[in-house]
């Protein structure tokens, strides 16, 4: 544990006292957007394999649906319930399941597993286009190294799409994430004239290619431009970061490789997400807390046996279905269901860790959590039934005062998750009336 | 008449299916509306096969929806049978279009190593290339360039240049070092041409795998002069040149320049050299190939054949086993798929899994290099193992960590299906699955995948749960007796059951949980067989042509770096037939692919309309 990079409690307090005012928001606010548009951070925390009934619903609410008590499986989130909004009866009408559901969670499209096509650009990438020009990284895509079957499957590993056919790449190694934020590309060697040269060459190459091939060169050009912007940004910010790096151990570089302890791994990635938001390196971040059909063993949690995906099929406890490993078996449905829920609670616990970090960090007037909206949830409801309706979803944070938190929203009629995505984009100032199939933003967030 | 029938079926599908499977709802991600408009229908072959199975087995439309009559079902199936199953591929003549694609991370590292005469071990610095439905990571449509990857290129190339041209203060890098990566003879710099120009001509030609145009040359000379004038040291400017070349699109991508014509054209000799080297070596062409390209002689069939023979003997061709076979047969997943628990399984070491993968890769290469028949994949009586694998196989007398050829005569093993790597990746951790192994043989090895399972099979799981004491075979039989499942499981299960003597890691086991193992099987046509030897025999007797056709398909897709399309089926069939006259020999297959129309010809535009290429496949 000791040699792993984390934000220590002490450094957190110290940086609070130091009033580092690191985020470059003040400078950016000058050019006239609203405060929400210039401040809001958006995040997406994805979990695979669904959630059983009872691990995502409040235990009691008052007459106006305000959360009084969460259910016992959600206990780690209890201290944060004023920052939680739980919408019920939302779904993704077009794509669902392990592969299509993951690939289209943020696009609102469908995915047929034949062509690589998620039906549209994902909401985080659209958000990055709107607000990313002011940050070093337009967006940050985090994931965890997979375990078991499907670890290399493209749709199960892809939430973010730069366009319907171009999956964004993702980072799984903590040190690489840190280096992208705080070290210059190529460690200083890359000369700007090198980039100018290859751009020039690409443009002349493009003119001689067919339409389809020219698109590929555009992809390359976009990538070079992004690097160029990042270097430019890093140059501007260099002194600021050097100062920050010295003044707090919050900026220590993580050790290479992947932490063996899964909780440390998840929390290290969460620290990086917090750091990215807090330092102003980006305002858009996705984090997959495992790929879309995770077969990771959670035996490291006391009382849990088996892989997450196997546990999600909790009604088969024989240990002899095609989803099982043939060794693990369970005494009854009840024990297996409890283990499935325990894995869900373990993830709630990690999310609580993230919320605590975000709550204690100052971000101008208010905490980082006050200025964020994070969507946390899955693309399946009950894992056993592969249910695609009433998805487990939560909105975390106050969204700069645009979210009336601490509530449950109960929809009588199924509501599409696209409505949330549209509402998010509009908060960031995107001039758009539609997202995927909807033109009806989720106004209920504020009601 | 045919048109009438088509209209009728169109109406039937509209009234019974399009409520859910149209452009807007696409339930189950199935859009029949657009599938009906995409012609020929075989462009959506798998999806139509699935539709046929659902209609035939009455899984669709769902019970609560209006049902077509028996005659109507028959009419739909009849029409699809003709349009999909009996589609005449031979009428389609079309070489396809190889889009530009970026090099895979492995190709990138190998190409840079060959270009700079170094041996870079930097693959770890790249994120894993994810794969789509096609299975090979060199498939053009899964090779993206994202901003993050661009950053990675910049830092990896920076490392490469540092490693290849280490700088010491006040010591200049000898000119010979630079001359070498440009493929120049050392004293070439003494003639009239400024030496930097000569260097760039040579270096860019090697790096871009074709002669550098005057525009490119001028661009690089200009920037070099600028760097020098701004006071940059000579070596630093040279390093910068190398860096710019290695991050340029012409290095990172495999590019074939389009000609003006809209007709199919023969690719030029430089393009052929690259297609050949990335197919057989997963890296750039060498000096000989470049020379033959420059002399424009590579197209001559006898020159080409000689080059194929030479290239296959070269160690670089090991990638046919380590990349092609590994990704086709799926054994590159060994290690990520199998969870190791060093406490429970101290024998399951990294070195063992490495050797298991090397076994199958080396075995596959021995078939290609030795020009063996494709059928040897199933019945070879030898393999390549080291001490650790030999222990797993309980074969005596093999000592030391290096692989060597070992006869399997008199053992329980033969061919691929007796190899640990294959047996392990077709099992779950700690447990075999006859269904998975059966499906692997049908789908991966023979290219005849069973249809998707019907919807709503979970009811069966519930029933099975009440019968926990049954043996795996009994459970499968129960499952198989269910009319909805029978069709496919009758094909899959016997294959997998005959391999039950091999445990989840490929070790031989005489019994399972103290019960003797019943490894007998019966194919749907009634043929009986037992164990691996029986399976091998029935597959070779009944399915040899499927095995050959699948080998052709997979190798062709890998060679072209794209997914095969319906218009490639003609080449597949012609080649499969041709091989029958050549005892199905592997080298003949490689030759056949290299001489085929899609390998030597291309359309420069995204093709949809059938066109006539000017040569026939062999």
Instruction: Determine, yes or no, domain membership for B215.
Output: yes
Q: Which residue of A has its CA nearest to B457?
A: A385
pTM of the model: 0.79
Task: Count the domains in chain B.
Answer: 3
B71 lies in the same domain as B107: no
Q: How confident is the model at residue B113 (pLDDT cuts 50, 70, 90)?
A: very high
Average the pLDDT over A214-219 and give the result: 90
Distance from CA of B517 to the nearest CA of A (A): 17
B507 lies in the same domain as B398: yes
Q: Are B129 and B137 in contact (CB under 8 A)?
A: yes
Average the pLDDT over B318-327 and give the result: 96
Last residue of a domain, one of B541, B571, B598: B541
Token pair recorded at residue B23 = 């452009």
Instruction: Determine, yes or no, domain membership for B319.
Output: no
CB contact under 8 A, A220 and B145: yes
Please report the residues numbered 178 through 217 in chain A whose beta carbons come closer than 8 angstroms to any beta carbon of chain B.
180, 185-187, 189-191, 193-194, 197-198, 200-202, 204-205, 208-213, 216-217
B74 lies in the same domain as B113: no
Instruction: Determine, yes or no, domain membership for B477.
Output: yes
Q: Is the pLDDT of residue A23 over 70?
A: no
Select the residue of B151, B252, B604 nearest A180 (Cβ to Cβ): B151
B519 lies in the same domain as B430: yes
What is the pLDDT of chain A when averaged over all its residues? 84
Unique residue bearing structure tokens 């297609």 = B275
Domain range for B123 is 101-254
B369 lies in the same domain as B515: yes
Unique residue bearing structure tokens 């959590």 = A369
B379 lies in the same domain as B410: yes
Q: Which residue of B has its CA nearest to A162?
A: B146
B412 lies in the same domain as B474: yes
At residue A44, φ and ψ (nearest 5 deg) are -135, 125
Q: In what order do the strands lie in the sheet with A284-288?
A: A140-142, A284-288, A41-46, A372-377, A393-396, A84-91, A407-416
Q: Is the pLDDT of residue B450 over 70?
A: yes
Note the pLDDT of residue B306.
97
Instruction: Determine, yes or no, domain membership for B207.
Output: yes
Select the residue of A112, A165, A223 nearest B149 (Cβ to Cβ): A223
A-interface mutation test, from B31, B212, B249, most A Cβ less than 10 A away: B249
B71 lies in the same domain as B176: no
Last residue of a domain, one of B485, B509, B541: B541
Omega before B115 within 30 of 0, i.e. cis = no
Q: How confident is the model over B563-604, as pLDDT tens digits?
A: 888 899 999 999 999 999 889 999 999 999 999 999 999 887
Angle of helix A123-131 relative to helix A418-427, nearest 10 degrees, comes to 10
Q: Is A164 within 8 Å of chain B by CB?
A: no
Omega before B40 within 30 of 0, i.e. cis = yes
CB contact under 8 A, A217 and B144: no
Q: How confident is the model over B2-47, as pLDDT tens digits?
A: 667 888 888 888 889 888 888 777 777 788 888 888 888 888 888 8
Q: What string of DSSP letters covers B30-56?
A: --HHHHHHSSSGGGGHHHHHHHHHHHH
User: Given the DSSP bridges, would you call strands A284-288 and B253-254 parallel, antiparallel or unpaired?
Assistant: unpaired
Q: How confident is the model at residue B322 (pLDDT cuts 50, 70, 90)?
A: very high
Q: Is the pLDDT of residue B609 over 50?
A: no
Unique residue bearing structure tokens 């092609």 = B324
Domains of chain A in sequence order: 9-181+249-445 (3.40.720.10)
Unique residue bearing structure tokens 């790249």 = B126
B-interface mutation test, from A223, A319, A387, most B Cβ less than 10 A away: A223
- Three-class SS of B443-489: HHHCCCCCCCCCCCCHHHHHHHHCCCCCCHHHHHHHHHHCHHHHHHH
Q: How confident is the model at residue B491 (pLDDT cuts 50, 70, 90)?
A: confident
Q: Tell me the chain A residues in contact with residue B144 when contact means C-beta distances shorter than 8 Å.
A: 166-167, 169, 219
Angle of helix B531-542 relative to helix B544-560, nearest 10 degrees, comes to 80
Distance from CA of A427 to the nearest CA of B (A): 26
CA distance B440 to B436: 6
Please report the residues numbered 322 through 351 in chain A whose beta carbons come closer than 8 angstroms to any beta carbon of chain B.
322, 324-327
CB contact under 8 A, B154 and A190: yes
Residues in chain A: 447
Instruction: Determine, yes or no, domain membership for B166.
Output: yes
Q: Tell me the chain A residues in contact with residue B326 when contact means C-beta distances shorter than 8 Å.
A: none
The fraction of chain B above a pLDDT of 90, given in percent, is 51
Q: Is the pLDDT of residue A261 over 70?
A: yes
Count Cβ atoms within 10 A of the Cβ of residue A31 and give its class: 0-12 exposed, 13-18 middle, 19 or more buried.
exposed
Q: How confident is the model at residue B456 (pLDDT cuts 50, 70, 90)?
A: low
B205 lies in the same domain as B77: no
Unique residue bearing structure tokens 């005569």 = B409
Q: Is A130 within 8 Å of chain B by CB?
A: no
Q: Give the least confident one: A53-57, A140-144, B611-615.
A: B611-615
CA distance B427 to A325: 9
What is the pLDDT of chain B when averaged over all its residues? 86
What is chain B's Cα-based Rg? Answer: 28
Q: Tell me the chain A residues in contact with residue B147 when contact means C-beta distances shorter than 8 Å.
A: 138, 169, 222-223, 226-227, 230
Instruction: Determine, yes or no, domain membership for B577.
Output: no
Average the pLDDT over A211-218 and give the result: 88
Note the pLDDT of residue A8.
40
Select the residue of B131, B150, B215 nearest A154 (Cβ to Cβ): B131
B528 - beta bridge partners?
B522
Q: What string of DSSP letters covers B67-125?
A: ---HHHHHHHHHHHIIIIIT--GGG---------EEPPHHHHHHHHHHHTT-----GGG
Q: Is the pLDDT of residue B350 over 70?
A: yes
Last residue of a domain, one of B508, B541, B574: B541
CA distance B27 to A93: 9
- Three-class SS of B227-294: HHHCCCCHHHHHHHHHHHHHCCHHHHEECCCCCCCCCCEECCHHHHHHHHHHHHCCCCCCHHHHHHHH
B-interface mutation test, from A115, A157, A177, A190, most B Cβ less than 10 A away: A190
Q: Which residue of B has its CA nearest to A148?
A: B337
Helices assigned H by DSSP within A25-173: 25-29, 35-39, 99-104, 123-131
CB contact under 8 A, B249 and A220: yes
Instruction: Determine, yes or no, domain membership for B586.
Output: no
Q: How confident is the model at residue B134 (pLDDT cuts 50, 70, 90)?
A: low
Note the pLDDT of residue B18.
87
Residue, of A97 and A36, whose pLDDT is higher: A36
B66 lies in the same domain as B194: no
Distance from CA of B401 to the nearest CA of A (A): 28
Q: Tell me the chain A residues in contact with residue B252 when contact means C-beta distances shorter than 8 Å.
A: 220
Instruction: Determine, yes or no, domain membership for B193.
Output: yes
Q: Which residue of B has its CA nearest to A154?
A: B130
List strand residue ranges (DSSP E) for B306-447, in order. Answer: 382-385, 404-407
Q: Tell me the chain B residues in contact with residue A326 when contact means C-beta distances shorter than 8 Å.
A: 428-432, 504
Q: Is A414 within 8 Å of chain B by CB?
A: no
B248 lies in the same domain as B372: no
Average the pLDDT over B77-104 and give the result: 87
Token pair recorded at residue B265 = 């054209």
Q: How confident is the model over A28-55, as pLDDT tens digits?
A: 333 445 788 889 999 999 999 999 988 9
Average the pLDDT over B416-420 and give the result: 96
Cα–Cα distances in angstroms (integers) from residue B580 to residues B25, B235, B301, B375, B548, in the given order = 47, 58, 21, 11, 9
B340 lies in the same domain as B395: yes
Instruction: Give the rounded distance of the alpha carbon of B493 from its chain centre.
Output: 26
Note the pLDDT of residue B466.
52
């Amino acid at each position: 544990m000791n040699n792993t990079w984390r934000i220590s409690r002490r450094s957190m307090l110290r940086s609070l006292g130091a009033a580092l005012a690191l985020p470059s928001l003040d400078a950016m606010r000058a050019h006239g957007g609203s405060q929400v548009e210039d401040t809001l951070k958006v995040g997406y925390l994805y979990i695979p394999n669904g959630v059983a009934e009872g691990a995502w619903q409040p235990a009691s609410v008052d007459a106006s649906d305000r959360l009084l008590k969460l259910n016992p499986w959600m206990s780690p989130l209890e201290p944060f319930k004023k920052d939680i909004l739980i919408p019920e009866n939302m779904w993704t009408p077009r794509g669902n399941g392990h592969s299509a559901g993951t690939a289209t969670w943020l696009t609102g499209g469908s995915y047929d597993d034949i062509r690589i096509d998620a039906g549209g650009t994902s909401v985080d990438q659209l958000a990055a286009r709107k607000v990313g020009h002011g940050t070093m990284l337009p967006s940050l895509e985090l994931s965890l190294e997979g375990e078991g079957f499907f670890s290399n499957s493209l749709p199960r590993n892809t939430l973010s799409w730069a366009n319907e056919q171009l999956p964004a790449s993702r980072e799984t190694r903590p040190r690489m994430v840190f280096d992208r934020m705080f070290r210059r590309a190529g460690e200083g060697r890359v000369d700007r004239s090198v980039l100018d040269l290859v751009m020039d060459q690409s443009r002349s190459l493009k003119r001689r290619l067919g339409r389809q091939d020219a698109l590929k060169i555009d992809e390359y050009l976009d990538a070079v431009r992004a690097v160029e912007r990042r270097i430019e940004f890093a140059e501007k910010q260099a002194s600021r970061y050097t100062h920050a790096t010295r003044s707090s151990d919050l900026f220590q570089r993580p050790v290479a490789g992947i932490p063996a302890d899964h909780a440390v791994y998840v929390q290290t990635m969460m620290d990086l997400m917090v750091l990215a938001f807090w330092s102003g390196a980006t305002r858009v971040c996705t984090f997959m807390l495992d790929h879309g059909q995770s077969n990771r063993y959670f035996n490291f949690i006391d009382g849990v046996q088996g892989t997450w995906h196997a546990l999600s099929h909790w009604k088969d406890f024989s240990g002899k279905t095609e989803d099982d490993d043939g060794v693990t078996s369970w005494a009854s449905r009840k024990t297996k269901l409890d283990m499935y829920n325990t894995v869900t609670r373990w993830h709630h616990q990690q999310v609580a860790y993230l919320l605590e970090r975000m709550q204690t960090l100052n971000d101008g007037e208010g905490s980082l959590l006050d200025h964020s909206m994070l969507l946390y949830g899955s693309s399946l409801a009950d894992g056993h039934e592969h249910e695609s309706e009433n998805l487990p979803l939560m909105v975390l944070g106050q969204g700069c005062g645009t979210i009336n938190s601490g509530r449950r929203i109960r929809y009588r009629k199924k509501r599409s998750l696209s409505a949330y995505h549209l509402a998010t984009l509009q908060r960031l100032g995107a001039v758009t009336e539609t997202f995927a199939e909807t033109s009806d933003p989720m106004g209920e967030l504020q009601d | 008449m045919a048109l009438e029938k088509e209209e009728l079926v169109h109406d039937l599908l509209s009234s019974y299916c399009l409520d859910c499977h149209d452009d807007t709802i696409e339930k189950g991600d199935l859009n029949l509306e657009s599938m009906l408009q995409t012609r020929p229908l075989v462009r959506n072959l798998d999806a139509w096969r699935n539709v046929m199975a659902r209609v035939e087995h009455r899984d669709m439309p769902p019970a609560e929806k209006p049902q077509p009559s028996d005659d109507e079902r028959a009419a739909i199936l009849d029409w699809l049978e003709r349009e999909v199953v009996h589609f005449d591929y031979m009428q389609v003549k079309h070489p396809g279009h190889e889009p530009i694609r970026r090099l895979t991370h492995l190709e990138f590292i190998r190409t840079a190593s060959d270009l700079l005469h170094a041996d870079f071990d930097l693959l770890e610095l790249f994120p894993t290339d994810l794969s789509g439905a096609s299975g090979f990571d060199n498939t053009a449509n899964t090779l993206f360039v994202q901003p993050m990857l661009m950053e990675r290129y910049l830092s990896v190339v920076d490392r490469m240049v540092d490693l290849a041209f280490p700088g010491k203060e006040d010591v200049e890098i000898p000119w010979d070092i630079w001359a070498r990566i440009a493929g120049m003879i050392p004293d070439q710099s003494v003639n009239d041409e400024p030496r930097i120009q000569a260097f760039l001509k040579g270096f860019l030609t090697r790096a871009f795998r074709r002669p550098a145009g005057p525009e490119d040359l001028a661009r690089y000379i200009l920037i070099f002069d600028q760097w020098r004038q701004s006071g940059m040291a000579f070596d630093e400017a040279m390093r910068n040149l190398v860096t710019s070349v290695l991050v340029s699109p012409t290095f990172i991508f495999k590019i074939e320049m389009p000609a003006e014509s809209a007709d199919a054209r023969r690719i030029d000799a430089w393009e052929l050299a690259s297609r050949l080297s990335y197919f057989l070596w997963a890296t750039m062409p060498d000096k000989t190939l470049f020379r033959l390209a420059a002399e424009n002689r590579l197209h001559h069939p006898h020159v080409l054949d000689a080059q194929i023979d030479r290239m296959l003997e070269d160690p670089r061709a090991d990638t046919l086993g380590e990349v092609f076979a590994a990704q086709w047969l799926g054994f590159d997943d060994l290690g990520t798929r199998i969870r190791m628990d060093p406490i429970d399984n101290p024998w399951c070491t990294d070195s063992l899994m490495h050797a298991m993968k090397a076994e199958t890769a080396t075995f596959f290469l021995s078939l290609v290099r030795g020009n063996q028949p494709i059928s040897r994949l199933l019945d070879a009586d030898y393999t390549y193992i080291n001490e650790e694998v030999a222990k797993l196989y309980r074969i005596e007398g093999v000592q030391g960590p290096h692989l060597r050829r070992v006869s399997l005569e008199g053992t329980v093993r033969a061919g691929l299906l007796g190899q640990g790597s294959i047996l392990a990746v077709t099992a779950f951790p700690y447990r075999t699955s006859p269904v998975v192994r059966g499906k692997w043989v049908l789908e991966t090895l023979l290219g005849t995948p069973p249809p998707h399972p019907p919807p709503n099979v979970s009811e069966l799981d519930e029933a099975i749960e009440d019968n926990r004491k049954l043996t795996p075979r009994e459970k499968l039989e129960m499952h198989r007796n269910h009319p909805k499942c029978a069709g496919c499981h009758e094909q899959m299960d016997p294959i997998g059951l005959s391999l039950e003597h091999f445990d989840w890691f490929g070790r031989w086991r005489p019994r399972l949980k103290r019960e003797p193992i019943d490894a007998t099987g019966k194919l749907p046509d009634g043929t009986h067989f037992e164990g691996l030897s029986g399976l091998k025999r029935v597959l070779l007797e009944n399915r040899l042509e499927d095995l050959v056709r699948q080998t052709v398909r997979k190798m062709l897709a890998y060679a072209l770096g794209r997914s095969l399309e319906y218009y490639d089926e003609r080449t597949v069939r012609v080649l499969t037939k041709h091989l029958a006259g050549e005892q199905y020999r592997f080298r003949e297959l490689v030759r056949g692919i290299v001489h085929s129309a899609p390998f030597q010809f291309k359309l420069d535009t995204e093709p949809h309309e059938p066109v006539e290429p000017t040569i026939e496949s062999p």
